[in-house]
């Protein structure tokens, strides 16, 4: 084992479990997906899940934790870029979110499902904390834009973000419907994603510009 391989904290089997679990939690829900099924699909024995993650619940937390960290990090870096105007930053946020939601569909579905449920689980708390952090960052961006006169003074940032996330989420949740309506029933996954990313990104940017600036 080389030094680099050693640095990878997650073993191969651990990664397999995480990937399969993400997919099954997304498509079947937390309770709907059984550890047996996860183990079978990940080609490991059932006991590996408890072995690596402690429990089914903790496995879920591991998935959420892994994804959420990256999102926040990227957003922070983006906002620090002083070469961009506030609107450009906002456009970058849109791009980043659209890409995320479209490329990480499984995880998005998990987020959606979690938001429907009661907020008493550890997972729910993780998500809520993340949302708070993201909200904070966005508020800063808006204030900056308003100070510079780029944005209107009476922007409801919460509503705007919810338009971005809600719309994109919904599109991916109802992917099939979207494909039917756009005559893309048999378009390959990559091509479809590329098209949607561009199409939706522009559509939402237009809305953002309208709400923020007009």
Partner DNA sequence: CATGAATGAGCTTTCATTCAT
Partner DNA sequence: CATGAATGAAAGCTCATTCAT
Binding site for a second copy (CB under 8 A): 26-32, 109, 112-113, 115-119, 128, 131-132, 135, 156-159, 162-163, 165-171, 173-174, 176-178, 180-182, 199-200, 203, 206-207, 210-211, 214
CB of 175 to DNA, least distance (A): 26
Q: Which does 37 bind (CB under 5 to 8 A by kind): a second copy, DNA, none?
A: DNA
Show contacts with DNA in window 116-135 (CB under 7 A). none
By three-state DSSP, how is residue 116 classified?
A: helix
Among 8, 15, 36, 198, binds DNA (CB under 7 A): 36
Residue 206 structure tokens: 């237009």
Q: Which does 46 bind (CB under 5 to 8 A by kind): DNA, a second copy, none?
A: DNA
Fill in the DSSP letter of residue 129: H
What is the distance between the alpha carbons of residues 184 and 31, in angstroms, rounded to a whole number? 32
Show contacts with DNA in window 40-99 (CB under 7 A). 44-52, 54-57
CB of 85 to a second copy, least distance (A): 21
What does the buried/exposed string (b/e) look like for 79-91 if buried means 16 or more CB atoms within 10 Å of the residue's CB? Answer: beeeeeebbebbb
CB of 213 to DNA, least distance (A): 49
Q: Is 33 in the site for DNA (CB under 7 A)?
A: yes
- If the CB atoms of residues 57 and 76 are measured against DNA, the closer one turns out to be 57
Q: Is 8 in the site for DNA (CB under 7 A)?
A: no
Show the CA angle centred on residue 127, arms to residues 158 and 35, nearest 5°: 145
- If the CB atoms of residues 15 and 34 are measured against a second copy, the closer one turns out to be 34
What is the distance between the alpha carbons of residues 128 and 131, in angstroms, rounded to a whole number? 5
- In DSSP notation, 191-202 reads HHHHHHHHHHHH
CA distances from 199 to 19, 37, 64, 196 (A): 28, 36, 28, 5
Asked whether 68 and 126 are in contact (CB, 8 A), the reply is yes
The binding site for DNA (CB under 7 A) comprises: 10-11, 13, 31, 33-37, 44-52, 54-57
């Amino acid at each position: 084992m080389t030094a680099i391989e050693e640095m990878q904290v997650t073993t191969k089997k651990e990664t397999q479990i995480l990937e399969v679990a993400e997919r099954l939690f997304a498509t079947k829900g937390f309770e709907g997906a059984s550890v047996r099924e996860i183990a079978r699909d990940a080609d490991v024995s059932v006991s590996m899940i408890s072995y690596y993650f402690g429990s089914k619940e903790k496995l879920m937390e591991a998935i959420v934790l892994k994804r959420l960290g990256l999102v926040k990090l990227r957003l922070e870096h983006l906002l620090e870029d002083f070469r961009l105007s506030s609107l450009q930053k906002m456009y970058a946020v849109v791009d980043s979110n659209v890409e995320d939601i479209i490329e990480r569909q499984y995880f998005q579905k998990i987020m959606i499902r979690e938001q429907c449920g009661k907020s008493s689980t550890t997972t729910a708390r993780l998500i809520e904390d993340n949302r708070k952090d993201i909200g904070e960052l966005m508020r800063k961006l808006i204030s900056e834009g308003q100070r510079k006169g780029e944005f209107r003074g009476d922007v409801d940032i919460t509503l705007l973000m919810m338009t971005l996330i809600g719309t994109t989420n919904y599109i991916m949740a109802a992917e099939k419907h979207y494909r039917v309506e756009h005559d893309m029933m048999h378009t390959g996954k990559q091509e479809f994603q590329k098209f949607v990313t561009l199409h939706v990104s522009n559509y939402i940017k237009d809305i953002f510009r309208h709400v923020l600036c007009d």
